[in-house]
Amino acid sequence: MRYEIHALLPDSDRVSAVYGTDTDPLRLRAPKGVFNSPYNGSWSSSGMNPKFFELMPDMQDDTFATIGLRTSAKLSGVMRAEDPTMVQDPSEPWDDFFTVNGETSLDVSTHTGGSWFVLRTAANGAPVEGKVMLAQVTTSGGISGALNLQIFPATAGIEQHRVRFEFDGTGRFDGRLVD
């Protein structure tokens, strides 16, 4: 089953980052293991090329992180789009969840933490039809987790919001402010 994880936002807000730290851990669980296609050479949507989908159809089911993109920024057709950048604690890398077939857990919970992010000005951080895609996870079982987001609201006087939402399975799960 292919799951897409989205943030639901007003059209004027922007997602800048998905992050985890020791005080706000980021967790994704797929107990039956995730599918990672050998044809996506990246941990993110930047390695997804629709031109290859016909020759390598399972590439479409790859597990990847993103902010608002299903392909690389260059191929997305979105002006001012950026591929997400990753930072991680070198002593506790987490990108295996998005690159190694069969991984079951993503845990970003060290003091240094980690994140995938785009700049505030990146067009792909803005919602399309009220949604910003954050990850695609393909597994034969269920998923659960907790994600933390940095959101730049259009509200005057508010620099940023940090929001956390937890989920288990499919559906809509509301977040709470963590600032």
Give 157's pLDDT tier (boundaries 50, 70, 90): low
pLDDT digits (tens, 9 = 90+) for 13-66: 999 999 999 999 999 999 999 999 999 999 999 999 989 999 999 999 999 999
Give the domain extent around 173.
2-177
Tally of helices (H runs) and strands (E runs) in the chain: 1, 11
What's the burial of 85, exposed, middle or buried (CB within 10 Å: 0-12/13-18/19+)? middle
The 8-class DSSP code of residue 73 comes to H
What the block records as the tokens of 169 is 């399975």
Q: What are phi and psi of 133, to 5 degrees?
A: -70, 135
Total number of domains constituting the chain: 1
What's the burial of 107, exposed, middle or buried (CB within 10 Å: 0-12/13-18/19+)? middle
pLDDT digits (tens, 9 = 90+) for 57-88: 999 999 999 999 999 999 999 999 999 999 99
Look at residues 67, 60, 61 and name the one whose alpha carbon lies nearest to residue 7: 67
The pLDDT of residue 63: 98
What's the burial of 165, exposed, middle or buried (CB within 10 Å: 0-12/13-18/19+)? middle
Angle at 163 between CA 48 and CA 131, to 5 degrees: 45
* Spatial distance between the Cα atoms of 95 and 106, rounded to a whole number of angstroms: 8
The pLDDT of residue 156: 64
Give 114's pLDDT tier (boundaries 50, 70, 90): very high
